[in-house]
Amino acid sequence: MTDDAAYTPSPTVAKRRASKLWRFVIRDAGVVVALVLILIFFSIKAPYFATSGNFLKIFVQTAINTVLAAGMTFVILVGGIDLSVGSVLALCTVVGALIMTAEGWSPYQSVPLALFACAATGAVCGFLNGWISERWRIPSFIVTLGMLNVAHGAARVISDNSTITGLPQSFVDFGNLIIGGFMPSIFMIAILVVLVGWFVLRFTVFGRLIFAIGTNAEAVRLSGHNPPFYKIAAFTISGFTAGIAAIVYLLRLNVGSPIAGVGYELNAIAAVIIGGTSLNGGQGSIIGTLIGACILQVLSTGLQLLGVGDNFKPIVIGMVVVLAVILDTYRQRLLRRLDY
């Protein structure tokens, strides 16, 4: 009986390469495959679906949710949730629109100031979410539920409960810009946000700690780090992206409104989940989130083109979200098998 025979089956190189490919398909490309299948389905079934005009529309409509979901990914990775992003977005649109429409300033002064104010307002709200939940150890579900109401109320107070119109023409023009005939400016912004987020999560020490804390915060603390700092940072990022999403909203709809963004937080969470990020934290990717946001929008547009009524659409989308999570459990199981 030889000693180590049982534990060294030594798969051939080809076999190993195949298993690597499998790993990639299952772990990283699963959602892409789903998106492609959905695209093919609608291209065959729905009239006008596979037209450049329709794709442009999808790009434009998915931008806001993509930006919100990118920030949400950070929060969910550290094991939290941010229910306030929709309201924070509303507050930021009001703040931004008020500054842009203020009298006595040229657009060259007011627009940059408004952009900064949007981002800063969002970041401050996010920081408060994180700080309060860490300082008093309150679940982020509750703190951000509070912020949802506070930000909504603040938006109504500041705007005097009215819609703010009359943004500078140059700003509006930029929002309508389609770069190179296929890339709407606002989708470009969304892609930029995703790329920056992807870079941070994948290549920086900060990103590594975000994953590590989501996996086991206590082990990270005992390894000599301060997890609350990173958790607060994750919430601040989510608030910041809500501010960016508000800018995208202003570019697209050209109004600041205290009733903007109602329910957006749930779409953002859905995109993150469909994208394969675990609600328990520690596992997921922001590219997945981008694909998740695209799947949601493609479904919505495709169903509309198929003539599924507005009443039925949410039913289908709701089922898809749950289905995505069910499929994810099978994916996890497969991954574990491959990893033995």
Partner 1 sequence: MSEAGDPLLELHAVGKRFPGAVALSDVSLSINRGETHILLGENGAGKSTLIKLLAGVYAPDDGEIRFEGQPYRPSSPHGASAAGIRVVHQELNLMQHLSIAENLMLEKLPSKYGLVQRSKLRAKASALLEEVGLSVDPRLRVSALGIAQMQLVEIAKALGYESKLLILDEPTATLTPPEINRLFQIIKRLKAKGVTIIYISHRLHEIFEIGDRVTVLRNGRLMLTRALEGFAIEDIVRTMVGRRMENQLVFREDVALGDELLRVRNLKRNNRAPEVSFDVRRGEIVGVAGLVGSGRTETVRAIFGADPKAGGEVWLSGHKAEVRSPKMAVKSGLGLATEDRKEQGLLLDLSCEANITITDPQKVARVGLLDRTAEARFASDLFGKLRVKAKSTKQIIRHLSGGNQQKIVLAKWLFRGSDMLILDEPTRGVDVGAKHEIYELLWMLAAQGKGILMISSEIPELIGVCHRILVFSKGKIVGELARPEFDQEKILSLAFQEHIQ
Closest separation between CB of residue 281 and partner 1, Å? 10
- Retrieve residue 112's tokens: 């940059």
CB atoms within 10 A of CB 207: 19
14 HSE (CA, 13 A, CB side): 0
- What value does the CA radius of gyration of the chain take, rounded to a whole number of Å? 22
Closest separation between CB of residue 119 and partner 1, Å? 21
Q: Which is nearer to partner 1, 52 or 337 (CB)?
A: 337
Q: Which is nearer to partner 1, 163 or 216 (CB)?
A: 216
Q: Which is nearer to partner 1, 317 or 335 (CB)?
A: 335
Closest separation between CB of residue 229 and partner 1, Å? 10
Long-range pairs for 273-278: beta carbons < 8 A, 24 or more residues apart = 273/321, 273/324, 273/325, 274/31, 274/320, 274/321, 274/324, 275/31, 275/69, 275/73, 276/30, 276/31, 276/328, 276/331, 277/73, 277/76, 277/77, 278/76, 278/328
To the nearest 10°, report the CA torsion of 301, 305, 307, 310.
20
Is the separation of the CB atoms in 144 and 81 below 8 Å?
yes
Residues making contact with partner 1 (CB under 8 A): 1, 3-7, 9, 11, 19, 203-209, 211-212, 215-216, 218-226, 282-283, 336-340
Closest separation between CB of residue 212 and partner 1, Å? 5
Closest separation between CB of residue 223 and partner 1, Å? 5
Q: Which is nearer to partner 1, 48 or 136 (CB)?
A: 136
Ramachandran class of 103: left when φ > 0, alpha when ψ lies in -120 to 50, beta otherwise: beta
Closest separation between CB of residue 255 and partner 1, Å? 39
Q: Which is nearer to partner 1, 46 or 201 (CB)?
A: 201
**Amino acid at position 306, single letter:** L
Q: Which is nearer to partner 1, 212 or 246 (CB)?
A: 212
Distant-in-sequence, close-in-space partners of 238: CB < 8 Å, separation ≥ 6: 71, 72, 74, 75, 82, 85, 126, 129
- Tell me if residue 184 falls in helix, strand or coil: strand
Closest separation between CB of residue 282 and partner 1, Å? 6
Computed from CA positions of residues 39, 43, 46, 49, in that sequence, does the dihedral angle turn out positive or negative?
positive
Q: Which is nearer to partner 1, 103 or 336 (CB)?
A: 336
Closest separation between CB of residue 209 and partner 1, Å? 7
Q: Which is nearer to partner 1, 227 or 239 (CB)?
A: 227
